[in-house]
Structure 1
Amino acid sequence: MHLDHPTTPYPHRHTYSAQPALRANGTRRALRIGLGGPVGTGKTATVAALCRALRDDLSIAVVTNDIYTREDAEFLLRNAVLPPERITAVETGACPHTAIRDDISANLEAIEDLEEAIEALDLILVESGGDNLTATFSKGLVDAQIFVIDVAGGDDIPRKGGPGITGADLLVVNKTDLAPYVGVDLDGMARDAKAQRGHLPVVFTSLATEGGVAPVRDWVRERLTAWKRA
């Protein structure tokens, strides 16, 4: 073993605290909310629905994360949920959680570019690439996080726990309209989620129905109101 070689410190990781809410000029920066969850649970569809529900009242921008593509950003652009200059993409080149938790520099740069280009943003949504139940956002990147699961993954998902389910500021159980077809007990999922999360909120959504994103929209509005009053 060679013990006499110089040691190299680990690279700095932005995992501690987000930038102050107030900028040097006294203005308040945008609230940053991250959306994570496994592949196929409806994260991008939730982002799109939120943009449609909030864009008339709020100034919004979106950062999407994919491993080697910009597919989620292109979906949002095709559906014209926001003007193109308000949507940007990060290609992580690695496991999605790397860019939202371990080395968040690419996402921070994307956020800073949006805030520089668009004045007076109220809200920036940061969507993670599809990951597993351990995916969480660094507190240096977002101010609050939403974790999205869906009923098609099975009604045991809340019971399995994991940092995303137990610690996210909001847990979203999506695609409730599929419950009768996949044999899922929604009441049981609600009980298990409550047992895992305690006082933290859980909402059930079906984006296939009119106004299906309303519980998430209302939660975002509450967070934004608290952010502006703080």
Structure 2
Amino acid sequence: MHLDHTHPGPAAVSADAHRPDGARRALRIGIGGPVGSGKTATVAALCRALRDELSLAVVTNDIYTREDAEFLLREAVLPPERITAVETGACPHTAIRDDISANLEAVEDLEDAVGPLDLILVESGGDNLTATFSKGLVDAQIFVIDVAGGDDIPRKGGPGVTTADLLVVNKTDLAPYVGSDLARMAADAKAQRAELPVVFQSLRGGTGVADVASWVRGRLTAWTA
């Protein structure tokens, strides 16, 4: 049995689209996916692609550490004051879907400290295929999987794969080495997601990043229209 895959259009906005002073707040995009799929590297690539044209910031989530935020700081993808971390202390989906208060505080503190912002990327800690973000936290969701996890992941589905606004199939350069069939993954993703977009990405090869950045720009255009 398939889930009811009903999705808001790109121009859909959350009920809390404005800050207390009446100004429109930053667009919030959540980035989730399994452990090791390349979420943080994707965040870093997006920051490099967009930082010269947008005012953006990042919130990372880890269970007990600040490791992902520290990676972004070492890579100098944004000024340090634009990167903050949430230590969830529990399964990552708890802080992005169930009790979002720590993440809401983090994004609001960033807007107060370095705003006005155009975009805030909220990266989940590594989770499973059921991980989704609360609509009270983000306005759109990217779900990242990688070919090394098996080319059957799109076929297996799960809310992360089937309902995310954008699915990124990462590390395509590894496909020949792990026996993953990219054509099969594309067909299975199409069957699960219908018209929802899918990007095949290789950060080492430099492919796909521009497509993900273009998708983000489209969401921002709809948000500010």
Fold conserved (TM > 0.5)?
yes
Map 1:42-191 onto structure 2 (within 5 A).
42-191=38-187
More off after superposition, 159-168 vs 25-34: 25-34
Identify the match of residue 205 of structure 2 among 206, 209, 214: 209
Seen in structure 2, the aligned counterparts of structure 1 residues 211 and 59 have a Cα distance that, compared at 3 Å, is farther
Across the aligned residues of Structure 1 and Structure 2, the Cα RMSD in angstroms comes to 1.2
Instruction: Spell out, residue by residue over 1:95-140, the C-alpha distance to the aligned partner (whole angstroms, 9 max, x if none).
Output: 0000000000000000110011112100000000000000000000
What per-residue deviation string (whole Å, max 9, x for no partner) do you get for residues 164-212 of structure 1? 0000000000000011111111011000000001111111000002354
The answer for unaligned runs of 5 or more in structure 2 is: 1-12
Q: Which runs of 5+ in 1 are unaligned?
A: 1-16
C-alpha separation between the residues in 1 aligned to 2:126 and 2:66?
Answer: 13
Q: Does the residue aligned with 2:155 lie in a helix, a strand or coil?
A: helix
Which of 177, 196, 199 is residue 200 of structure 1 equivalent to?
196
Cα distance in 2, alignment partners of residues 223 and 32 from structure 1:
10
Q: How many residue pairs get matched?
A: 213
Aligned equivalents of 1:140 and 1:222: distance in 2? 21
| DSSP 3-state at the match of 1:172 | strand
Question: Residues of 2 paired with 1:24 and 1:101: CA distance?
Answer: 23
Secondary structure of 2:204's partner? Answer: coil
Q: How does 1:25-40 map to 2 (within 5 A)?
A: 25-40=21-36
C-alpha distance in 2 between matches for 1:20 and 1:100: 16
Which residue matches 2:9? none
Superposition deviation, residue 28 in structure 1: 1.3
Structure 1 distance, partners of 2:188, 2:77, is: 34
Distance 2:128 2:212 in 1: 21
Kindly name which structure, 1 or 2, has the bigger radius of gyration based on alpha carbons: 1
Tell me how far apart the structure 2 counterparts of residues 94 and 210 of structure 1 sit (CA, whole Å). 34
Percent of aligned positions that are identical: 83
Q: Secondary structure at the match of 2:30?
A: strand
Once residues 198 and 221 of structure 1 are traced to their aligned partners in structure 2, the CA distance between those partners, rounded to angstroms, is 22
Moved over 6 A (4+): none
